[in-house]
Structure formats: structure tokens, C-alpha cells
Structure 1
């Protein structure tokens, strides 16, 4: 049986930035009423503006970050101390540049880089631009 599609792999990377949901962008302060946009929203918006392939904010339910205490979301209310993660995907150069430009907001955050492959699936006989090969 002949494959009707092919997989083309390209090198890419991912960073995960761990923070608290109450961290705010540009204020240097934390807390729900400390002013400024939530940092996780600002980072996703900046990633989009800078052309990164993917940016997602994940809320955790149970865990810890940066050697802190274990936190839980609880059944009754949200926990503003519980770790969340912003995941950004792009080339290593894009991700390093992003961290360099936003260093003031990322200081003291746990940031993890991981090498990935981005897979594109295309119909056999179709070039990268969608034209017949």
C-alpha cells in the first residue's frame, strides 16, 4: 500500500515559563488588584505579535514551582499561588530573542527549553507551496 501523504520534519523548540496566575506584566508586583495585565496573557499576546508559531497558557491543578510549597486548586475557589505555564513554540533563535526582550518580566521565573520537531503532513505530489511537484 502506497502512502498518500508524507511527513516533513523541521527543527523547532519550545519553552515553558512557569508563573503564578496573579503575576502582572509591567508592574513588578503580584496580586489580583496590583494593576497591569496578567503576565500570562501579555506573554501570549507578545508571542503572537513577534510571529512565534504557538503560544498557550496552561492552568495547573496541583503542583509546585521554583522549590516552593505544593499548591492545590481546592474544590471551593481558585488558588492564586498555584503554578501556571506559558508554552511558546518557535525556533531556538526566536525563543532566545523573546526571553531577551522580555527579561524584566521573566526574571526569577523557571524557564525550560526543549528541542522539538515540527511535522507537516502533505499530500504526496504536492510541493511546500501547495503546487504539484
Structure 2
């Protein structure tokens, strides 16, 4: 065996939303020109030091008891569920949710316990 596996405990949250969800509330120009929520969450997670943050678009599904939707044949469906996935230490993820609760209050947010594996040479002291 030339490598060792060093496990550590981490977590993941998935935040479900529509691709059309925006950071600004209200109507008119402010809402139309607002940044997409999924982009804001990824950028904010990076600024907050979260280990991983990605946005996953879906092709078929529903969220929060809504209708089942699918992608359009020629154009994407702006109401189809997507998720932003954040991976990091549990306390960092909880802090992120408390700090940015105004953006997350109406979203489905799911936490899952994970194990992070660091792979390194057998003679290394990685941890």
C-alpha cells in the first residue's frame, strides 16, 4: 500500500430553489436586474470560507410540495427545481445559514453528515 486514507467528519447542505429566484425582493427594475440567488449563494459561500459550493441544475422534479416540472425542449424552464450544495464543517454551515437566513427563509434546506477522506502517501503526516 503506497497511500493512506485519513478520514474527518464534515457535512453538506443542499438548498433547493428555482433558477429564476433572485436576491432582491419586490418588483420592477430592482428585481429584474438582481443577481440570481444560486450565484449569490455560491459567491457568498466562497467569501465565507466554505470548502465546496456548486449549483446543480435538474431536468425533472419538484420541490416544497410544488408541481412536477421538466426542462423545455427549446428553452430552459426557469421554475424547475435546482440546488446549491455546500460542503464544509457543520459549524461553518450552520453559521452560513444563520448569517444568510434572509436568503434561505423560504427554501428547503437539507443537512447531511459526510466523511471527508484525505488521500496521501503512506509516509506523509497529512490530516
Bin of the TM-score, shorter chain as denominator length: over 0.9
Q: Do residues 28 (structure 1) and 25 (structure 2) align?
A: yes
| Residue 38 of structure 2 corresponds to residue 74 of structure 1 | no
How many residues matched?
Answer: 125
Q: Match of 1:17, SS?
A: strand
Q: Which runs of 5+ in 2 are unaligned?
A: none
Residue deviations 1:21-63, cap 9 Å, x none? Answer: 01111x12589x6221110000000111111110000000000
TM-score (norm: length of structure 1): 0.89
Take 1:88 and 1:94, find their aligned partners in 2: how far apart are those partners? Answer: 10
CA-based RMSD: 1.6
Aligned residue number for residue 91 of structure 2: 93
Counting helix residues as a fraction of each chain, which structure ranks higher?
A: 2
Query: Aligned partners of 2:86, 2:26: CA distance in 1, in Å?
Result: 23
Partner of 1:83: 81
SS of equivalent to 1:67? coil
Give 1 or 2 for the bigger CA radius of gyration: 1
Q: TM-score, normalised by structure 2?
A: 0.93
Equivalent position of 1:120 in the other structure: 118
Which residue number corresponds to residue 104 of structure 1? Answer: 102
Q: Which residue of 1 aligns with 2:59?
A: 61
Q: Give the Cα–Cα distance (whole angstroms) in 2 for the partners of residues 128 and 108 of structure 1.
A: 40
Contact kept in structure 2, 1:23 and 1:39, CA below 8 Å: yes
Equivalent in the alignment of 2:37: 39
